[in-house]
Amino acid sequence: MWNHAGLLTVLAVPWHEAAANTDTQMLFTSPVFLSFFLPLIVATYFLLPFRTLSLLILSLAFYAWGEPVMIWLLIAVIIGNYLLGLAIDRSGRRKLWLCLGLVANLLVLVVFKYFGFLAENANIVLGSLGLPLLPAPHLPLPLGVSFFTFQAISYLVDIYRGDIRPETSLIRMGVFKAFFPQLIAGPIVRYKEIAGDLRDRTVKLESFSAGAERFVIGLAKKLLIADPLSIPVDAIFGTHASDLSSPIAWIGVASFGLQIYFDFSAYSDMAIGLAKMFGFHFPENFSMPYTATSVQDFWRRWHMTLSRWFRDYLYIPLGGNRHGQVRTTLNLWIVFATTGIWHGANWTFLIWGLWHGALLTVERSTVGKFIERWPLVLRRSYTIIAVLIGWVWFRSKDVDHAVDYLHALFFGGFDGALAAILRIYNPFLLAAFCIGTALAVGSYPKARLIFGCRPTADRASDVLVANPLQEATRALALVAIGAVALSAAAASTLQAFLYFRF
């Protein structure tokens, strides 16, 4: 039986007890960033000389605002990888320096992100055998550690492969590693993608305006869709699964699917827009993933910089698909197991990754050829359902919670479902869900013709808007959206970006 009170009395609890402290972070949506830091860095950059140095100093200050102690770890990572890059390029023992660099960067990630998890699980085994237990310290998780360590690994490997030359300026290296738009949650920007911008960049009024507009779009996606949807998501996932009907369980995981998409793509939009305002061109990170027609297609569209990273630095070095079906399948499972555990030190993330690995294995078999013959609506429906089932593992606090939630999805019954949905989804939340769904499943490209970027001379990928009426409509719409988003930023309790936890 559906328990209305059980749901309505649930408070928003920390997801995996790893939510970062929004009081100390300088979020892109926070008043201190919008009213103080952003105007400061824009004024400093355009009014003072030594632009690259000013970007480095203020980017380090941005990180230190939320991580005053861990700033020293970031500085050590910058200097260490700068020296390792030079050593790989100039030394006769290139492979040795590469291995040392890979070990050092992975050690940072393992110690701060996985040491406690590994020790706790090892103690389960040791305790069952009656052996002494290991100490299991809970170290603080540095903001963005998964992102800046992967970025460093790609830098060293690309030097070793001869794809790039090492950066000779420590200041430019510092900006590459610590540039504030991408420092905390990506996109995972490779050195060769912005090497030219680090050395020589110009900012035209058109590109600055296009960057500001992209930032406003991201701000609106975060504050008007992602953050509101966190309220029902926290409530539904915080309710005991036995109290969930099947419809409320489905709408809960669908809401989370929208929340994480609009949250992370919003951050990517803001990062790309801010970078453009300072003359940098970051790679795109999302391409309408919920319009995918297969799980393989989904991963071509979701967190694209991460997908390409695993392809180029793990899947292909493992052999890719060059050594037969069995080896290809093994490589896929290794990649997606690593993808899962990269997101967090929890068995649920590992299972989420293996779920996607299993789906890709099926799609590469004869079953995949059968799916390819389905009508478009069926292929999209299959993909969305498969992804939503995976999101249950991603969002659940532990394996038992995920299993119980999956049981509610398929066997939860229908008692009181409509009344419960109407109780938890007030008109504003229902509007956020419906608008988010419409934008996620296909309307966003059309919306970008109105709300998208101005034409610029330096990026052919920008949306061109030639119709004067459409241009005026776009400008007015952006002003209105920006005003509403800023009002929401001033009035709301700040929600950390979900990927800050990774």
Cβ proximity of 35 and 486 under 8 Å: no
Q: Residue 342: helix, strand or coil by DSSP?
A: helix
Q: Which two tokens stand for residue 117?
A: 């998890």
CA 56/CA 174 separation, integer angstroms: 6
Helices then strands, each counted (H, E), the chain: 26, 0
Q: Which helix (H) or strand (E) holds 193?
A: helix 191-199
What are the start-end ranges of the E strands in 22-131? none
DSSP string covering 96-114, please? HHHHHHHHHHHHHHIIIII
Catalytic residues: 343
Cβ proximity of 295 and 211 under 8 Å: no
CA 246/CA 241 separation, integer angstroms: 10
CA 18/CA 15 separation, integer angstroms: 6
Cβ proximity of 297 and 218 under 8 Å: no
Q: Residue 145 half-sphere exposure, CB side, CA atoms within 13 Å?
A: 26
Of 380, 392, 359, 354, which Cα lies nearest the Cα of 250?
392
